[in-house]
């Protein structure tokens, strides 16, 4: 495993309402909290030789600014844009700023089994791939996929 200082850096962005995981529609999203997910990401990163940082915001512009900061500062980006997935052209445009830096889109729920307005993703074709429907385990899958791409 690489020394932490040299490990490729991955940023994980959680969008609106994901801070409420555990309380939010548990029948859809499960009972795991965002803190549990972030701790799991750190464990997976250690096993995969990555360094990971997590960030959550309920505000579209704040997320756009965080993606802009990621340009040239991270080796990969994993994003669950929450509801912004379905309509945010500004998140999509910000992701395009990342150029060759790989982006993985993740959703806890299977967005294609839900309401028709969730079937459209503004970011799917900007991402290397999408993970949708595996609950919190999807974050482990996403980080392992990212490790496979960048290490
Ligand atoms: C979600 C799916 C979105 O449709 C929803 O608005 C969310 C969470 C998911 O992780 O399943 O906030 O991105």
Nearest atom within ligand 1 for CA of residue 28 = 11
Nearest to 139 by CA among 34, 51, 7, 41: 41
9-66 confidence digits (pLDDT tens): 999 999 999 999 999 999 999 999 999 999 999 999 999 999 999 999 999 999 999 9
Known catalytic residue at 29: yes
DSSP summary character for residue 52: E
How would you class 119 by CB atoms within 10 Å of its CB: exposed for 0-12, middle for 13-18, buried for 19 or more? exposed
Sheet holding 9-14, edge to edge: 51-56, 9-14, 76-80, 103-107, 129-132
Backbone angles phi, psi at 86, to 5 degrees: -90, -10
CA of 10 to the centre of ligand 1 (A): 21
Q: Which of 4-8, 22-26, 117-121, 133-137 comes out lowest in average pLDDT?
A: 4-8
Is 131 strand, coil or helix?
strand
The active-site residue out of 14, 74, 107, 139 is 107
CB distance 92 to ligand 1 below 6 Å: no
Q: Domain 9-150 is classified in which CATH homologous superfamily?
A: Dehydroquinase, class II (3.40.50.9100)
This prediction has a pTM of 0.96
Q: Which two tokens stand for residue 104?
A: 């993985």
Domain boundaries defined on the chain: 9-150
Pocket flag, ligand 1, residue 80 (CB < 6 Å): yes
24 within ligand 1 shell (Cβ under 6 A): no
């Amino acid at each position: 495993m690489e020394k932490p200082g040299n490990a490729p850096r991955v940023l994980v962005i959680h969008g609106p309402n994901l801070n409420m995981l555990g309380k939010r529609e548990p029948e859809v999203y499960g009972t795991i909290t965002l803190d549990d997910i972030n701790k799991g990401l750190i464990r997976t990163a250690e096993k995969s030789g990555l360094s990971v940082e997590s960030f959550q915001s309920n505000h579209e512009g704040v997320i756009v600014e965080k993606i802009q900061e990621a340009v040239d500062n991270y080796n990969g980006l994993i994003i669950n844009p929450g509801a912004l997935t379905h309509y945010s052209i500004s998140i999509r445009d910000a992701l395009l700023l990342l150029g060759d830096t790989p982006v993985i889109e993740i959703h806890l729920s299977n967005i294609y089994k839900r309401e028709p307005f969730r079937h459209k993703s503004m970011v799917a074709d900007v991402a290397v791939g999408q993970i949708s429907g595996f609950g919190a385990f999807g974050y482990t899958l996403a980080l392992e996929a990212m490790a496979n791409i960048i290490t």
